[in-house]
Amino acid sequence: MRIFYTADHCDHQPKSEQYDGIASPYPEVSARVDAILAGLQQHNFGTIHTPRKYPLEHIHQIHSQPYVSFLRRRCRDITRGEQVQPSYFISDTYAPLTSGTYHASRRAVDAALAGADAILRGEQVAYSLCRPPGHHAGHQSTGGYCYFNNAAIAANHLSSHGRVAILDIDFHHGNGTQDAFYTRADVFYVSLHADPSINYPYIRGFATETGEADGVGCNLNIVVSKNATVTEYIAGLEKALAKIQDFAPDYLVVSAGFDTFIDDPIGGLRLNADDYTEIAEHIVALRTPSLIVQEGGYNTELLGELVVNFLQPFNRWSSR
Ligand code: SP5
Ligand code: ZN
């Protein structure tokens, strides 16, 4: 399968996150990507391609122009090695800026768009190894380690060519992605995640949120309990997949987070490493061209194995 990746994510290296005046080490580290690349190479997974540079128009269909230029200008003014917490265009304090944040985030979008273009050229599967992640980034807000919404931008690009479903399996609800498509009937957003009344992002992700205006019925939130094992998780996933099948998408975008892993330092359901293969088998059964976009997952020791386990069924299907 085709893998899209750039080393430019290394330009984005925040040192800490802030909450209640307390700084703790930043969990969304570049070592996550090192672990994934090592796993992919070890298992001889497909070819790694460097995406081309895409114009800003794609980003501007999801993010406001003032937000995008704010990020560009603000990052330009930061000294290398320093980190800044802006007071506007934010939804929380989990997405600090560094001098390389804008560039790294643009290149993550390029990886997502190149994956989408591979699907449009007829590939069955593509994996966009995006960092920083994207699904918490809103129309004009950073949040939860996210700046540009890679999956939303790619899904929007695909939506010019057909119906799109987004399946978000990160531990956290993808509030930015939901908001981007909440009033649209041509993109169906489905998310499985931990209860937002007690977990980040708190503000979105409730089962009562089903879409508005033209988008009524095109948003589905499925809450899984924090102690869900693979049995409960697959039951929720089956519900999600049944609705996706009813929607009959031409393209599927998977916002793939691995912070549902039992030993994730931030999230953590009771999913084991092998469970990701079973999860992927259920998704592959849709037989819908699929763009997999990397979101969260913070166990840097095991993340490579989790991603490889997840990609295996897609790889088998696409190389049939
Ligand atoms: C993309 C994604 O998975 N974003 C998740 C953002 C969640 N951030 C809030 C959790 C902050 C918890 N800080 C834990 C410090 C660990 N010692
Ligand atoms: Zn997450």
User: Residue 21's pLDDT is what?
Assistant: 87
* % of residues, the chain, pLDDT over 70: 100
Mean pLDDT value of segment 276-300? 98
What is the pLDDT confidence band of residue 82, given thresholds at 50, 70 and 90?
Answer: very high
Q: By C-alpha distance, which of 221, 142, 145, 146 is closest to 181?
A: 221
User: Residue 51's pLDDT is what?
Assistant: 98
Peptide bond into 27 cis (omega under 30): no
- Cα of 265 to ligand 2 centre, how many Å? 11
What is the pLDDT confidence band of residue 202, given thresholds at 50, 70 and 90?
Answer: very high
CA–CA gap between residue 65 and residue 45 (Å, rounded):
37
Ligand nearest to C-alpha 135: 1
Mean pLDDT value of segment 236-254? 98
Q: Is ligand 1 within 6 A of the CB of residue 32?
A: no
Mean pLDDT value of segment 106-123? 98
User: Residue 181's pLDDT is what?
Assistant: 99
Q: Is the pLDDT of residue 305 over 80?
A: yes
Q: Is ligand 1 within 6 A of the CB of residue 168?
A: no
Mean pLDDT value of segment 68-93? 97
Q: Is ligand 1 within 6 A of the CB of residue 296?
A: yes
Ligand nearest to C-alpha 134: 1
Range list of H helices, the chain: 31-42, 57-60, 65-76, 101-120, 150-158, 175-181, 230-247, 275-284, 303-318
- Cα of 144 to ligand 1 centre, how many Å? 6
Pairing verdict, β 16-19 and 22-25 = antiparallel
CA-to-CA separations, 300 to 31, 198, 221, 290, in angstroms, rounded: 6, 25, 28, 25
- Dihedral angle of Cα 70, 72, 74, 75, to the nearest 10 degrees: 150
* % of residues, the chain, pLDDT over 90: 97
Q: Is ligand 1 within 6 A of the CB of residue 259?
A: yes
Mean pLDDT value of segment 251-274? 98
User: Residue 319's pLDDT is what?
Assistant: 86
Q: Is ligand 1 within 6 A of the CB of residue 297?
A: no
Compute the mean pLDDT over every residue in the chain, rounded to the nearest whole number. Answer: 97
Q: Is the pLDDT of residue 19 over 90?
A: no
Q: Is the pLDDT of residue 132 over 90?
A: yes
Q: What is the DSSP string of 134-146?
A: -TT-BTTBBBTTB
What is the pLDDT confidence band of residue 46, given thresholds at 50, 70 and 90?
Answer: confident
Q: Is ligand 1 within 6 A of the CB of residue 92?
A: no
- Cα of 229 to ligand 1 centre, how many Å? 21
- Cα of 42 to ligand 2 centre, how many Å? 25
- Cα of 121 to ligand 2 centre, how many Å? 30
Q: What residues contact 231, with CB distance under 8 A and at least 6 apart?
A: none
Half-sphere exposure of 18 (CA within 13 A, CB side): 13
Mean pLDDT value of segment 73-101? 97
- Atom number of ligand 1 nearest to Cα 145: 4
Q: Are 94 and 102 in contact (CB under 8 A)?
A: no
**Is the pTM above the cut of 0.75?**
yes
- Atom number of ligand 1 nearest to Cα 134: 1
Q: Is the pLDDT of residue 255 over 90?
A: yes
Provide the annotated active-site residues. 136
User: Residue 55's pLDDT is what?
Assistant: 98
- Cα of 298 to ligand 2 centre, how many Å? 9
Q: Is ligand 1 within 6 A of the CB of residue 145?
A: yes
Of the residues 33, 193, 203, 266, which should be mutated to test ligand 1's pocket, given the most ligand atoms within 8 Å of the CB? Answer: 266
User: Residue 18's pLDDT is what?
Assistant: 84
Mean pLDDT value of segment 49-69? 98
Q: Is the pLDDT of residue 320 over 80?
A: no
Question: What crossing angle do the helices spanning 275-284 and 230-247 adopt, rounded to 10°?
Answer: 20
Q: Which residue puts its alpha carbon closest to atom 4 of ligand 1?
A: 144
Pairing verdict, β 22-25 and 164-168 = unpaired
Q: Are 291 and 251 in contact (CB under 8 A)?
A: yes
Q: Is ligand 1 within 6 A of the CB of residue 66?
A: no
Q: Scanning the structure block, which residue is given the tokens 């070819």? A: 47
CA–CA gap between residue 48 and residue 39 (Å, rounded):
13
Mean pLDDT value of segment 237-254? 98
